[in-house]
Each structure stands twice: as C-alpha cells, then as structure tokens.
Structure 1
Amino acid sequence: MNTSFDRYAGIAFFAIGIAFVIGSLGISTSAYGSNVGANIFPMVLGLFLSLMSVRLIYETFRKQRAEKRAENLDYKRFGIIFIAAVLYAYFLEDIGFVISTFLFLMIGFQTMQKGRVWVSLLIAGGFSYGVYYLYVNVLDGSLPGFPTWLGGA
C-alpha cells in the first residue's frame, strides 16, 4: 500500500463522488414506467464513492509506516478487470443486466482469486439476479432485462 498515492486517490474519488451527487440533482426525478427516478442510482453511487473515499483517506492518515518497501503493481489483473468493465458497459444493453453483471463478476472473482468456481458462480448469480429483482420488482425501476434471443422482452 502506497499511502501517499492512496491519499491522493481518495481525495480525487471523493471529488468525483461529490460531482456525481451534484450532477444527479440535475437529472429528472421520475422516469416513464418507473417509480424510481433516473437520479437515484448516480446519487447513491456518488454517496457511496464519497464515503468509501473518506474511509480511504482516514486509513492513510492512520497508517504509520516504519519502513518503506517496494511494491509490485499487478498490471495484468488491473488490465483484465479494466477491459472487463469496459466490455460490461458496452454490452449491458445487448445482453441484459443479469447476464452482463454475472459475467463481469465471474471474471472479477476469478481474476482476483483463482479457484472456488462454484462459490463464484453462486455469488455472481445470486447478486446479479438479486439486484435485478430488487430494483425492477420491488422498487419498480427499469433495467435491461434478458436479451430477446433468450425469450426476454
């Protein structure tokens, strides 16, 4: 852990989170066919990002390193997850929320810790369908469903 990098990253992400919250205030509070407005999701994400950034900044000030050691940055894992995130955003409308989120989580889990495929399958499947069900059926929101070639609408 490079504390100075983490501190600056925390400050930058805090500013991005606040920008998300401020930007979401300008978005419509209601959407056609949805009781949850389009502004809720970016506002919640911005608040979450800001809170996590405050936590990161706090941790960097709390940590006192007696010795500095060289860090090995893992560019391969970063690249895999970055490419998976870009592909997730690109294919979200085409293959639907549940499938794209499931695939993204599986790639992320297996990149971070190889093995335990069944546990990854259960967590990724449960999370992706659970979030979809909660948002669409409980909160009356709208997310891209399953693709039409799988019988979705």
Structure 2
Amino acid sequence: MNHSFDRYAGIVFCAVGIAFVIGSTSISTSAYGSNVGANIFPLFLGAFLSLMSIRLIYETFRRQQKQQNREKLDYKRFGIIFTAAVLYALFLEDIGFVISTFLFLMIGFQTMQRGRIWISVVISACFSYGVYYLYVNVLDGTLPGFPSWLVLF
C-alpha cells in the first residue's frame, strides 16, 4: 500500500465529493413524475465520497509507513473494470437499471475475486433490484426500468 498516493487520492476525492455536494444545490429539487428530485443522488454520493476520503486521509496519517514497497500495478483488472463502467454508462438506458447494474457488479466481483459465482449472483441481484425497488417504490423516483423487449417475453 502506497500511503502517500492514498493520501493525495483522498484529498482529490474529498474535493470532488465537496464539488458534487455544492453542485447538487443548483440542480432542480423536483423532477417530472418523481417526488425525489435530481439533486438527491449527487448530494448523498458526494457526501459519502467526502466522508470516505476523510477516512482514507485519516488512515494514512495514522499508520506509519514502515517499509518502502513498490507494488506492481494491475492494469488488466483496471482495464476490465474501467471498460465495464463505461459500458454500464452507455447501456443503462437501453437495458435498464436492474440488468445493467447486475451485470456491472458481476463483472466487478468476478474481476476482483474469481470463484464463488453463486454468492456474486445473489449479492448482485439483491443489490440491483433492492436499490431499484427502494428508489422507485419507496422514494417515488424514476429509474430506467426493464427494457420493453424483455417485458414481451
């Protein structure tokens, strides 16, 4: 673990999180057909990112770097997850939130740790449908549902 990189990354991500929180205040508080406005997700995600970044910064100061190890960067895993994130953003509207989130999580879980596929399937399915249900039915928000060609079958 490179503590100086973690410290600088934490500072950058904290600034990004604060920018999200500040930027979300200028977004409309209500959306057409939704009781939850478009500003809710950026506000909470920015706050969460800032809090996690502060935690990371705190951890880097708390731990003394005992040895100078050079870790080999894993470009293959980074490339797979980055590609999956780009494809997730591109196909979110076309295949819907639940399916695209499920596929993204499955790719991410299997990239980080091979095996235990059934646990990955259960966690991915429960998380993607749970977030969809919570946001759409409980909070009365709108997310891309299931694609129309899937509903026909």
Cα distance in 1 between the residues matched to 2:111 and 2:29: 38
Q: How many residues align?
A: 152
C-alpha displacement at 1:51, in angstroms? 0.3
**1:71 counterpart residue number:** 71
**2:138 counterpart residue number:** 138
C-alpha displacement at 1:72, in angstroms? 1.1
Cα distance in 2 between the residues matched to 1:68 and 1:54: 24
Deviations 1:85-104 (A, max 9, x none): 01000100000000000000
**1:128 counterpart residue number:** 128
State the superposition RMSD in angstroms. 0.8
Cα distance in 1 between the residues matched to 2:66 and 2:26: 47
Cα distance in 2 between the residues matched to 1:4 and 1:67: 13
Q: Tell me the TM-score normalized by structure 2.
A: 0.98
C-alpha displacement at 1:147, in angstroms? 0.4
Deviations 1:12-53 (A, max 9, x none): 000000000010000000011111010000000000000000
Unaligned runs of 5+ in 1: none
Unaligned runs of 5+ in 2: none
**2:147 counterpart residue number:** 147
Instruction: Give the % identical residues.
Output: 79
**1:2 counterpart residue number:** 2
Q: Which runs of 4+ in 1 moved over 4 A?
A: none
2:18 counterpart of 1:18: yes
